[in-house]
Amino acid sequence: MELILSCSSGNFDALAAVVAASKIYTGSKCGFVYPLAEKVQHFLDSHPGLVTLVGSLDFQSPPHLLVLLGPYSSNSLGPYKELVNRASEIHLFSPDPGDRTFLNRATLYNLPAGSTTTILLEEIRRRKLPLTRLEAGLLAKGIYESTAALTSPATTAGDVAAVYYLWENGLDLEILRSGLPFAQYAGETSSLPAGKGVPGTSEFNCSGGQFNQVQDKSAEKRQAADIQPAAPGFEMHTCAEGTPAWLEWDSLLPLLTGSLPDRLQGMLLLIGQAGARRSSEVYLVGGVIRDLLLEKEPVQDLDFVVIPEAVPLARDLQKWLGGKLITYEQLGTATLFLAGGTRLDLTTARQELYPSPGSLPEVEPSGLKFDLYRRDFTINSIACSIIPETYGKLFDYFSGRRDLVDGLLRTMYNLSFVDDPLRILRAVRFEKRLGFRLEDNTRKCMLKAINGRALEKVSLHRLSQEMSLIYSEPDPPEVLKRLNDLGALKFIYPRLQTSSGTWRRLEQVGQVLYLTRCWDWESPPEPEPAYLSALLYDMDDDGRTILVSKLNLSRDSSWRVLTACAKAPQILRSLSRTGLKPSLLVNLLQDLPPEALLLACSLTESNREREHLKSYVNSLR
């Protein structure tokens, strides 16, 4: 017989460790030296078949393999001590082996960890054993309980990495909810009407309490030293009938737990717990909160404000989560690029001073309100805490939620577009993407900055980065046309003359980009050079070359734009000939960038010519 025996007190880590061990030692019987706590026993009773418990033990027939979980002490085993003495083989999994005189008889599995479950999970990962969502949730719960939600001094990078692995590979979130630190906080302070304003949920229970409006008892006290609201009229509005329920909430916890994917929820919990270990305040800010409130797909890039320092926390996260870390010590910022495409931007709470329009700011540490005040628009100035003590607590000093409800883009202060003219481009991006309109004073400030030639003061590098974001929008032509109507496009693309034909061509490129997604491209067209080639198509060759050289594009992108503009007319002339042989088509197109084919496809109205291009891409290439 193989017997798995937990030597730890009967908490969730003990149960989780037994379940993990039973995955490694399949078919083993399981037992506990100490009685299980009532809530743990209830969980086990509610999930029959999770483990096979041993009945009465036959001490005359000891197990040939005994697996001990947790620190070994002969004085605490009671009747089980005889089994240890008579077992043929012993395996011990424990962060602390306990009685070291025992080790000459046992095979020790030991890693730096605050939880026995962490060590067992490492063996499960090494053997590539699958876990159900229930098992993954229980293992995470065990690690959380043993390490005080990853905040106890005994917590190691291994514990954090173990929980991250469980989140990444799917776990049952409901198992965790009753035991996480924010559950206690929420249950003590709030109850929310079932499902109100929370997409996809009917009721959310935390520590026996339902959520309602979470009253922030400490926001004024915590931020008393910060500035007062900066703009006149920036007071919280009462919630009118028919407006979203979150307009009155003081916590985003219902949306964080009800709308975010499990993987992102796990990410936030880990980052908040890492911050708590450093006694730091960590806030989620910006686009992800805006998109949550608007019920849009959450972004993969997460922005955080950290008090007092972001860079040390970022280094901790890289140690635990891996990825590539870039730090800017002077600015107090760090960016961590994780596998799977997630990007974490961590910034020390700061206030900014712009020495001159369009320049990079000088920064100094500040409180949260000052940091939110430096944001571009009120809708991006909403923050929520993610440390365990106050997880989900909302901070909306500048009525960003009210502007979300009203569909308004409002700048934080009058000189915002002068300090950073790229906010002009961002305003138009958000205006078109979200279907919002510029608040009247914001529009006046923007036009004043445009007419004052503020965009000429921005470096080509920063301007190019912002334009690349525009070309990745769902409808770049609409953004470009709006910039042109506002008088801003001429400062981005000097010497460019637009006409109604320009906008028709850009719209056609967008349609063809969509329609040709199913073509068998070796390398599909890139939106930015594709749209640029359509935008600059009417310029003469010399003027186009000079302009492209000033756009800070990569050499490859510049070649794609110039070649597409030069070759598209030749492609169309050749395609219009009757009896075009496949070999001639291949010779014509094989050395050209895909953007040249796309532009030609956009310029022609002939289905026959488009079929030639499709045939080349799908069959002849």
Residue 85 banded pLDDT, cuts 50, 70, 90: confident
Q: Report the 10 Å Cβ neighbour count for 39.
A: 12
The predicted model gives 48-68 an average pLDDT of 75
pLDDT of residue 21: 93
Q: For each of the domains in the chain, give its residue range(s) and CATH number, in order of start.
A: 2-179 (3.90.1640.10), 245-406 (3.30.460.10), 411-492 (1.10.110.30), 495-620 (1.20.58.1960)
The rounded mean pLDDT for the chain is: 83
Above 90 in pLDDT, residue 463? Answer: yes
pLDDT of residue 56: 59
Q: What percent of the chain has pLDDT over 90?
A: 46
pLDDT of residue 222: 33
Dihedral angle over CA of 216, 220, 222, 227, nearest 10: 140
Q: Per-residue pLDDT tens for 159-180?
A: 888 988 898 888 887 787 665 5
Dihedral angle over CA of 60, 64, 65, 71, nearest 10: 40
Q: Per-residue pLDDT tens for 470-507?
A: 999 999 999 999 999 999 999 999 989 999 999 999 99
Above 70 in pLDDT, residue 614? Answer: yes
pLDDT of residue 76: 63
Residue 555 banded pLDDT, cuts 50, 70, 90: very high
pLDDT of residue 233: 35
Residue 351 banded pLDDT, cuts 50, 70, 90: confident
Residue 244 banded pLDDT, cuts 50, 70, 90: confident
Above 80 in pLDDT, residue 312? Answer: yes
Distance (Å) of CA 4 to CA 137, 142, 297, 484: 21, 17, 45, 72
Q: What percent of the chain has pLDDT over 70?
A: 84
Q: How far is it, in rounded angstroms, from Cα 157 to Cα 161?
A: 6
Above 70 in pLDDT, residue 213? Answer: no
Structure tokens at 449: 């900055």
Residue 197 banded pLDDT, cuts 50, 70, 90: very low
Q: Per-residue pLDDT tens for 372-401?
A: 999 999 999 999 999 988 999 999 999 999
pLDDT of residue 234: 34
Q: Torsions phi, psi of 203, nearest 5?
A: -160, 145
With both helix axes pointing from N to C terminus, report the angle between 607-615 and 582-589 in degrees, rounded to the nearest 10.
80
List the beta bridge partners of residue 362: 353
The predicted model gives 537-546 an average pLDDT of 94
Residue 78 banded pLDDT, cuts 50, 70, 90: low
Residue 218 banded pLDDT, cuts 50, 70, 90: very low
For 581-611, give the secondary structure using H, E and C.
CHHHHHHHHCCCCHHHHHHHHHHCCCHHHHH
Above 80 in pLDDT, residue 39? Answer: yes
Residue 189 banded pLDDT, cuts 50, 70, 90: very low
Residue 359 banded pLDDT, cuts 50, 70, 90: low
The predicted model gives 227-252 an average pLDDT of 55
Higher pLDDT, 425 or 329: 425
Q: Per-residue pLDDT tens for 113-153?
A: 889 999 999 999 999 999 999 999 999 999 988 888 887 88
pLDDT of residue 16: 93
pTM for the whole structure? 0.70
Of 205-214, 216-225, 285-294, which range is least confident? 205-214
CB 138 within 8 A of CB 20: no
Residue 219 banded pLDDT, cuts 50, 70, 90: very low
Residue 8 banded pLDDT, cuts 50, 70, 90: confident
With both helix axes pointing from N to C terminus, report the angle between 476-485 and 500-515 in degrees, rounded to the nearest 10.
160
Structure tokens at 15: 């149960």
Of 13-27, 180-194, 370-384, which range is least confident? 180-194
pLDDT of residue 580: 77
Question: How many CA atoms, within 13 angstroms, populate the side-chain half-sphere of residue 326?
Answer: 6
Structure tokens at 76: 């605490």
Residue 445 banded pLDDT, cuts 50, 70, 90: very high
Give me the long-range contacts of 233-242 (CB less than 8 A, separation at least 24). Answer: 234/378, 234/397, 234/398, 234/399, 235/399, 236/396, 236/399, 236/402, 237/399, 237/402
